[in-house]
Structure 1
């Protein structure tokens, strides 16, 4: 039986596929934490003290300009880890990590993460594969924001968020979505109304309910499928490392 099959409820895809020996070492060091909406896990340029493995929360990675403007470059949920700079050797990053959807995570201090990365070949290979998938998401987001319509960008963003949530409901204001996409709120309002008229979503008072996921997938650009396929290829949900 694989590690993933033996422990299907660790709550995070990377932790699910850890071999038993690594999991037994990690478990006492993993600290459960609550991540409220809007919480900043690290700021641009700051030294990171820990990594986070989201279980029910979603975290947005934002690039912040000197004038304070920002745009989302990637989203991390139960499939990943927040704080890759710690094991990649940088220690800090020009991006900011903000909780996009409130929930829970498991926190591991930076020193322990670096020790495990250097100590275990399976851990190193797993985290490098995840990093490759995350880079694909960042690259595709940049291309999407430059070449595709706001309507398509919103569909991509909704689908990526849904993939990281247990249901089909998102708690998200249009202002927050606008900040994530780096566009004006009026543009998000227009795009959301268009999706609602098409019967794809229902939006009211900061709550978005997806009514027709296949319809969203047909309406979005190819960027969503490129990102999803790369995550599926590099991080099979039931494959032990």
Structure 2
């Protein structure tokens, strides 16, 4: 899409870009492209050089680790929405990505060529500071998810995952297929159906296996483990201190 469409208001729909000063956003704008996030479409592949950094405007992206002894088995390590960026390996100077990323919920993103991001962060500046703080928040999310997957029940983890998706989508109703939820949680589909039925019976959600509606946000937070609030607080600190 033509760079003329990348105006400042559009850029500010992404939190990281909103945290930049107007001059830095203006310098990035000519290099940005507005692209759709299509469900299941991969944004980068395992152990390949990333070509683009993506700043989501809407939708949700899953960052996933692939098991080397079973390529069909994957584990979600983090999710990214309008609060973040996909492409931290570029900023950190890595040549390859450790996992892959794909759209979990459809939306839109602004993408920036890898070379443009490297050039923009070659010297200390506002963008580098914001991305350093974002790296800290992302590490917090990955650490917490690792501990959560080991310690907490599937009921708590499912509620946490729905809350994080709800935050990023910005709507009470969104598409979410049960087999996909099962894959991201690392649980059988039958287990996910039992857990979502319990959450629905409690009045927290409505779910038909394809579309989920959050009907009681406070109740869903009560069903989740404390990991949800820990990660949410870290992103709030990022926004306040970047």
The TM-score with structure 1 as length reference comes to 0.93
Which segments of structure 1 move beyond 2 Å, counting only runs of 4 or more?
A: 7-10
**Runs of 5+ in structure 2 lacking a partner?**
1-7
Q: Secondary structure at the match of 1:167?
A: coil
State the alpha-carbon separation in 1 of the partners of residues 170 and 78 from structure 2: 19
Tell me whether 1:83 sits opposite 2:72 in the alignment: no
Match of 1:18 in 2: 20
- Which of 1 and 2 has higher RCO (CA within 8 Å, sep 6+)? 1
Counterpart Cα distance in 1 of 2:40 and 2:79: 14
List alignment gaps of at least 5 residues for structure 1: 1-6
Match of 2:131 among 127, 132, 135: 127
Q: State the secondary structure of the residue aligned to 2:168.
A: coil
Instruction: Give the SS at the match of 1:119.
Output: coil
Q: 1:189 aligns with which of 193, 211, 217?
A: 193
Residue from 40, 43, 49 that aligns with 1:41: 43
Does residue 50 in structure 1 map to residue 63 in structure 2?
A: no
Name the structure 2 match of 1:228.
232
1:73 equivalent among 74, 77, 85: 77
Partner in structure 2 of residue 156 of structure 1: 160
Q: Distance in 2 between matches of 1:205 and 1:191?
A: 12
* Counterpart Cα distance in 2 of 1:119 and 1:192: 48
Tell me if the contact between 2:88 and 2:135 (Cα under 8 Å) persists in the aligned partners: yes
Q: For residue 182 of structure 1, report the CA deviation from its aligned partner.
A: 1.4
Task: Find the counterpart in structure 2 of residue 178 from structure 1.
Answer: 182
1:205, CA displacement in angstroms? 4.5
Residues in 2 aligned to 1:187 and 1:144: alpha-carbon distance in whole angstroms: 17
Quote how far apart the aligned CAs of 1:160 are: 0.6
Distance of 1:160 and 1:210 partners within structure 2: 12
Query: What TM-score, normalized by structure 2, do the two folds share?
Result: 0.93
Q: Give me the CA root mean square deviation.
A: 1.2
SS in 1 for 2:94: coil
Give secondary structure in 1 for the equivalent of 2:39. Answer: coil
Kept after mapping to 1: 8 A contact 2:47/2:99: yes
Rounded to whole Å, the distance in 2 between the matches of 1:94 and 1:169 is 32
Task: For residues 44-93 of structure 1, give each alpha carbon's deviation from its aligned partner in whole angstroms, at most 9, with x where no partner exists.
Answer: 11110010000012100011102021111000000000010001011322
